[in-house]
Amino acid sequence: MKNIDWNNLDFQYIETDIRFVSNYKNGSWDEGALIKDSTVTISECACVLQYAQTCFEGLKAYTTVDNRVVCFRPDLNAERMESSSKYLEMPPYPKEKFVNAIVDVVRANIDYVPPYGTGASLYIRPFMYGSNAVIGVKPALEYSFRIFTTPVGAYFKGGIKPIVIRISDFDRAAPHGTGHIKAGLNYAMSLHAIVDAHNKGYAENMYLDSATRTKVEETGGANFIFVTKDNTVVTPKSASILPSITRRSLMYVAENYLGLKTEEREIAKEELRDFKECALCGTAAVLSPVGKIDDHGNEIIYGSSMGEITKSLYDTLTGIQSGKIEAPKGWIRLIK
Ligand code: PLP
Ligand code: COI
């Protein structure tokens, strides 16, 4: 176990000992290896540097209440990365090898997995990029797939204290664009919007659909869930948001563990006032309650503590991840 202040970790990069690397050349992926070097050397003209040909994933490893180390639904991250790679004209990394590499890299950094009860976890970041020199606009011929790990605490400062967000005047994703995949470019174009939001005191941006600006989409790094006054859990349906694995899991938990009604449907901005709870969900965000949404000076207020249904969803999901509550079959991958 490393000498780290597990209880006070931020969501920040801490270099760990070992990472996984596999390279793609002449039409195939090599065997891949665990290596020590955390740096990358590539051509100044690499496709990733010139044309942002890169996608990534995010998942976490946890120490359970009975001291095992597990990760959550890595097969779904493998599948989503496959769809991201295909859309960016990159060669998919095989699903089974992806999951095995996750297990190997976490085992190799096992001393960095935060202990049970600290609220911290080991964040796992698989990513892929076009590495050879490309000057005309076309996909690379060579790629690297890498996975590093880093111990993290809560994504939003203050942990589960409700955050304040704003409705953004910037757009995140175009209809028929790249909003549904985890492309680095989606995050590059959100940087100005997030810096502007932070400068004005907001934790995140709520993006609306860019075609009509009337429907709720997601934030820069998480999906939304809402709770209606009659306790239905509602989440936006849109082809331009990232299909969150946390959200899919929460909707299952709502129906099958908590007996609640769920709906995935278009959500009009006008409806925001009708909901009684609002939260952001994602690997990094887990389930972070939203206390207030600022719509250009008009405030929509959900309250200063986590809502009742959000709390049940949060407790059940984190209970499943930490081994306190039995998981649906296939959700938990044992690492140690
Ligand atoms: N939406 C965006 C834009 C994200 O970056 C993330 C984080 O991965 C999510 C949603 C949540 O997805 P997941 O629950 O699979 O982590
Ligand atoms: C994740 O939740 O894994 C993400 O990639 C979101 C990012 C804002 C850290």
Q: What pLDDT digit, counting tens, does each position of 174-233 carry? A: 999 999 999 999 999 999 999 999 999 999 999 999 999 999 999 999 999 999 999 999
Residue 182 bears catalytic tag: yes
Q: What is the pLDDT of residue 158?
A: 79
Instruction: Express each pLDDT in 237-249 by its tens digit.
Output: 999 999 999 999 9
Q: Give the mutation target among 246, 251, 313, 320 for probing the ligand 1 site: most ligand atoms within 8 A of CB.
A: 246
- Find out whether the beta carbon of 178 lies less than 6 Å from any atom of ligand 1: no
Residue type, 328: P
Rounded CA-CA distance 230/14 in Å is 43
Q: What is the pLDDT of residue 51?
A: 98
Question: In the predicted model, what is the mean pLDDT of residues 119-129?
Answer: 98
* C-alpha pair distances (Å), 135 with each of 91, 128, 129, 132, 242: 19, 19, 15, 10, 30
Q: What is the pLDDT of residue 157?
A: 86
- Find out whether the beta carbon of 179 lies less than 6 Å from any atom of ligand 1: no
For β-strands 33-35 and 54-56, DSSP reports them as: unpaired
Better pLDDT: 159 or 24: 24
Averaged confidence pLDDT in the chain: 98
Rounded CA-CA distance 2/111 in Å is 6
Q: What is the pLDDT of residue 105?
A: 98
Instruction: Express each pLDDT in 7-62 by its tens digit.
Output: 999 999 999 999 999 999 999 999 999 999 999 999 999 999 999 999 999 999 99
Q: What is the pLDDT of residue 262?
A: 98
pLDDT at 159 over 80: no
Identified catalytic residue from 95, 157, 182, 311:
182
Instruction: Express each pLDDT in 293-306 by its tens digit.
Output: 999 999 999 999 99
Better pLDDT: 159 or 48: 48
pLDDT at 160 over 90: no
Determine the Cα angle at 55 with ends 103 and 266, to 5°: 105
Q: What is the pLDDT of residue 267?
A: 98
Residue type, 37: D
Q: Give the mutation target among 206, 242, 318 for probing the ligand 1 site: most ligand atoms within 8 A of CB.
A: 242
- Find out whether the beta carbon of 218 lies less than 6 Å from any atom of ligand 1: yes
Q: Which of 175, 253, 182, 256 is nearest to 220 (CA)?
A: 182
Q: What is the pLDDT of residue 119?
A: 94
- Find out whether the beta carbon of 223 lies less than 6 Å from any atom of ligand 1: yes
Closest atom of ligand 1 relative to the 245 alpha carbon? 15
